[in-house]
Amino acid sequence: MAKWSMVIEYVRLFRNGFRSSVPVSELCRGSAPSSSDIAYTQTRFIQSIMAPDVRTNAGYGVEADLEEWRIISLHHVDLSYNLACLERGPEDSVVAHVTATTLVTANMLRRALPRHVTDEKRDEWAAISVKLVGQKLEVSTTLYFGWDREISRFISTSYESDMLTPLVRLLGSLEYASCALSSPLNVHHWSSNQCH
């Protein structure tokens, strides 16, 4: 399979996130029973296209990548990724531009927003929550896939998401958007080493 096709299939397989009924470590070790479960298919696919020590936003290895997908999917029940375009990146890499869409729910905000909000910030968080609940959040995201010709696998994968633009649009204020981005609502706070 060509690297371009691999990226297209990656986005297709993960278009609604990653949800597994068994621990990621069991899926990666192959100790979970094989099944027609989508998480099993996603795991086997990633293992076939990525180096075992692939570098990701969450650390190294396929397990770290899948664990980050699991955490993000946990926060976003109604997650959808749509591929906009692919580009040739530097040094034989592939760049995918996607739009990530999620519905902001009260549950999502309860998990993401600080539990111990100071009295002076309580009204601000209430205003942010009221404006966000029930809204579709569309986030432009760029995925980077570093390719190694010798092993014909990806050796790195990372992403960058522009959450500021849609949050300003929904919240109507740079101050509120900044406040939301400094909370765990920001996608970059969801890596497996920061959130459980």
CA–CA–CA angle 182, 101, 68 (5° rounding): 60
- The predicted pLDDT at position 24 comes to 87
How far, in Å, are 4, 42, 45, 77 from residue 1 at the CA level? 8, 16, 11, 31
- The predicted pLDDT at position 150 comes to 95
Residues 6+ apart with CB under 8 A from 13: 38, 41, 42, 45
Distance in angstroms (rounded) separating the CA atoms of residues 190 and 196: 9
Bridge partner list, 138 = 101
Average pLDDT over residues 88-98: 94
**Residue 129 pLDDT class (50, 70, 90 cuts):** confident
Say if residue 79's pLDDT is above 50.
yes
Higher-pLDDT residue of 120 and 78 is 78
Classify strands 153-162 and 50-56 as parallel, antiparallel or unpaired. Answer: parallel
pTM assigned to the model: 0.83
- The predicted pLDDT at position 187 comes to 53
Q: Which phi and psi (to 5°) does residue 60 adopt?
A: -120, 140
Tens digit of pLDDT for each residue in 104-123?
A: 888 777 766 655 455 566 67
Single out the residue of 69, 1, 13 nearest to residue 42, CA to CA.
13
Tens digit of pLDDT for each residue in 43-71?
A: 999 999 999 999 998 899 999 999 988 88
Give the right CATH number for 3-189 from 3.10.450.50, 1.10.1040.10, 1.10.3720.10, 3.90.180.10: 3.10.450.50
- Token pair 């375009």 in the structure block, residue: 85
